[in-house]
Structure 1
């Protein structure tokens, strides 16, 4: 009872402080809102919408179930999740936050995942996409496309490590199933695909409309969180709360041999990854390796903004948020350690100034690929607003038609 009252008091005080801060810093709040809005409608909305729509249709047509049966021998031994987790993992890496959470919640609602399996899966299928790592962070902030190789390797190796550890999560609560041990063939996969399509007997037009509606509703929610946390981050800075918290981080950074100037970007990155990564790139007193380590942690932790988005998505199911939050801490630690360990054998050996550009063909290819991703990121930023406005108009048109049909 006392714990509940303390929680109520804390939440009420926090909201009251936020409201008072908005009144005290109206211009700063407005600028932060505009920054969050620009990020959403230029980058987040146009980059995530196609993945969300296609994913919904793949689930409806049974393709995800088909993929799941084929990937069962891989995903079950490694991560203790069904084969459909391979689809979620791939889509999560390709499209970025919070696609993994949305698809996991969707498959849980479909009954293709148990509660424990869903909590394992969501813990390692939320990640930054290569477009953001190379286009925004490496090129946009650091002006160094080669750095994206280190950040990407550390990020995705950290994801795999988290998945391997989370396979042990919930073993006491999990019930064994004979179907999991059965050898499945392509014929079984096609049969599962057909059963799923027959079960979901919506016409193609209805399925496409539902996919668009569901995707845009999710993206509107994501946009609200991005704007909110952009404002919160700015207000915390002006209230000197960020500086207060940074004093504690300075001690830890000093013990690790890093400059204390990285403490402010680190705290900002805990709330919002884009701002934290940008601030880290601007710390001239830090070495590039230290900047890479901090940025890797920020990208993997994903920030309270993304975590709030995930919490909102998971709240629609019985999937608990606590395992996801624990996994974000693990991912941050793993990514930072991998960035440190890979720095000398990868970056200094193949990308440091003075090294031959053809030292390793694979690395040269990855660098060229990173440049293409950076160009793609710039293209999305330029065309993003038009895509967002057009999609919102389509959403309003579909919603209006359905409301008219219900009358």
Structure 2
């Protein structure tokens, strides 16, 4: 039978089963939807929106081109991507997923990178942000601030290793995009690129800012939809018994790796949605080292929810999703191994010793900066989200009225 026919049958059957599950299990569907919406409304939207808007403006003004010319000698030899990839990498770390995919797609749409360079770049720039690792996972779920150091180190070092491996992706491909040689120094050439980009984009600054707000909110609405969808899918798969059935198979693999089978269900949940998976991992009866290794894996894997967001963003370009998925599996393996390697020298011998040398993240009888930042988003996040959505509606109505004129 034709592969496409099998794919059609699989998709139709899956969607039908999910639809009937939603109809038959409305209470579970509603609870999962509310949980996903709460996370997006309170934390994800207000924490990502400022980064997205500022990044759109930096790209439009030409700052990204400026950075690209300056950092070309660093990014090109190491990762075989243009210097502007450094901006994508930095924003991916600062704001978290799916920022790396969003900015990679933006560079590709502006023809600043080739499709192959985009596949290399997105593979190591779509990562979790420090706020989520330290505040949500380490403090919120594990109640152990020191654990954030291990998770962050394994996550970001693993990302660098993925980038170094993915530089060999399509190694026969020749660089087709490079900056022209010029008798000017690198700094003057960078400023020239910035100025030319600003002149080329002749939108007034007010129009540029409005477009940045509209585009950023539109992307975050898509992100919220995926978070809610996969929260519901994860809940329904558990209720109908699918998760338990697959967990019995995963148990065999975990036992072979000398990892507690109690982590099988949390692992499967984390493959769909990392927040729920991280919480279930912290509540399991496994050893702390094993819990941390599995948490590192699902943070690096991103979960199918984030991967679906990335696939949706990349669909507007000719950047393929398969290399990104391979990179996520590779990152998961790297993160697990790095957690095991770093556990004794960093967590056991340093962080768990009698002298605590990390007061920034853990102070006795005080609240850490990370805790304060996370609490800020929990308290003010809903209002920021509401105001931003009102602005989005106003901008959308204005755009429609202009088009109808």
| TM-score, structure 1 as length reference | 0.95
Deviation of the 1:253 alpha carbon? 1.2
Q: In the alignment, does 2:234 pair up with 1:219?
A: no
Indicate how the Cα distance of structure 1 residues 403 and 330 shifts in structure 2: closer, same or farther if over 3 A, else same: same
Indicate how the Cα distance of structure 1 residues 185 and 175 shifts in structure 2: closer, same or farther if over 3 A, else same: closer
Q: For residues 129-169 of structure 1, what are the alpha-carbon distances to aligned partners after superposition, in whole Å with 9 as ceiling and x for unaligned?
A: 00000110000000010000000000000000000000000
Deviation of the 1:178 alpha carbon? 6.3
Please name the residue that 2:383 is paired with.
Answer: 386
**Counterpart contact for 1:136–1:374, Cα < 8 Å:** no
Indicate how the Cα distance of structure 1 residues 83 and 366 shifts in structure 2: closer, same or farther if over 3 A, else same: farther
Deviation of the 1:254 alpha carbon? 1.0
Worse overlay, 393-402 or 335-344: 393-402
Query: For residues 127 and 402 of structure 2, what CA distance do their matches in structure 1 show?
Result: 40
Deviation of the 1:370 alpha carbon? 9.9
Please name the residue that 2:247 is paired with.
Answer: 246
**Counterpart contact for 1:149–1:367, Cα < 8 Å:** no
Q: For residues 365-406 of structure 1, what are the alpha-carbon distances to aligned partners after superposition, in whole Å with 9 as ceiling and x for unaligned?
A: 465699312321121022111000000001111122222233
**Counterpart contact for 1:145–1:370, Cα < 8 Å:** no
Q: For 1:268-287, what aligned pairs fall within 5 Å after superposition?
A: 268-283=269-284, 285-287=285-287
**Counterpart contact for 1:116–1:170, Cα < 8 Å:** yes
Deviation of the 1:42 alpha carbon? 0.5
| TM-score, structure 2 as length reference | 0.96
Deviation of the 1:176 alpha carbon? 5.0
The alignment's C-alpha RMSD in Å is 1.7
Q: In the alignment, does 2:94 pair up with 1:97?
A: no
Indicate how the Cα distance of structure 1 residues 132 and 177 shifts in structure 2: closer, same or farther if over 3 A, else same: closer
Q: For 1:25-174, what aligned pairs fall within 5 Å after superposition?
A: 25-174=25-174
Indicate how the Cα distance of structure 1 residues 180 and 138 shifts in structure 2: closer, same or farther if over 3 A, else same: farther
**Counterpart contact for 2:95–2:129, Cα < 8 Å:** yes
Please name the residue that 1:399 is paired with.
Answer: 396
Query: For residues 88 and 374 of structure 2, what CA distance do their matches in structure 1 show?
Result: 23
Please name the residue that 1:330 is paired with.
Answer: 330
Indicate how the Cα distance of structure 1 residues 84 and 175 shifts in structure 2: closer, same or farther if over 3 A, else same: closer
Secondary structure at the counterpart of residue 368 of structure 2: helix
Query: For residues 105 and 402 of structure 2, what CA distance do their matches in structure 1 show?
Result: 29
Please name the residue that 1:298 is paired with.
Answer: 298
**Counterpart contact for 2:66–2:190, Cα < 8 Å:** yes
**Counterpart contact for 2:159–2:331, Cα < 8 Å:** yes
Deviation of the 1:245 alpha carbon? 1.0
Q: Which of 338, 360, 370 in structure 2 is aligned with 1:373?
A: 370
Query: For residues 75 and 87 of structure 1, what CA distance do their matches in structure 2 show?
Result: 10
Deviation of the 1:181 alpha carbon? 7.9
Secondary structure at the counterpart of residue 117 of structure 1: helix
Q: For residues 219-266 of structure 1, what are the alpha-carbon distances to aligned partners after superposition, in whole Å with 9 as ceiling and x for unaligned?
A: 111110000000000000001111111111111111222211000000
Indicate how the Cα distance of structure 1 residues 180 and 344 shifts in structure 2: closer, same or farther if over 3 A, else same: farther
Indicate how the Cα distance of structure 1 residues 202 and 340 shifts in structure 2: closer, same or farther if over 3 A, else same: same
Query: For residues 287 and 57 of structure 2, what CA distance do their matches in structure 1 show?
Result: 46
Please name the residue that 1:356 is paired with.
Answer: 355
Instruction: Could you tell me which runs of 5 or more consecutive residues in structure 2 were left unpaired when the two chains were aligned.
Output: none
Query: For residues 182 and 306 of structure 1, what CA distance do their matches in structure 2 show?
Result: 41
Aligned residues: 401
Indicate how the Cα distance of structure 1 residues 166 and 225 shifts in structure 2: closer, same or farther if over 3 A, else same: same
Please name the residue that 1:9 is paired with.
Answer: 9
**Counterpart contact for 1:243–1:264, Cα < 8 Å:** yes
Worse overlay, 122-131 or 174-183: 174-183
**Counterpart contact for 2:360–2:368, Cα < 8 Å:** no
Query: For residues 20 and 180 of structure 2, what CA distance do their matches in structure 1 show?
Result: 55
**Counterpart contact for 2:278–2:295, Cα < 8 Å:** yes
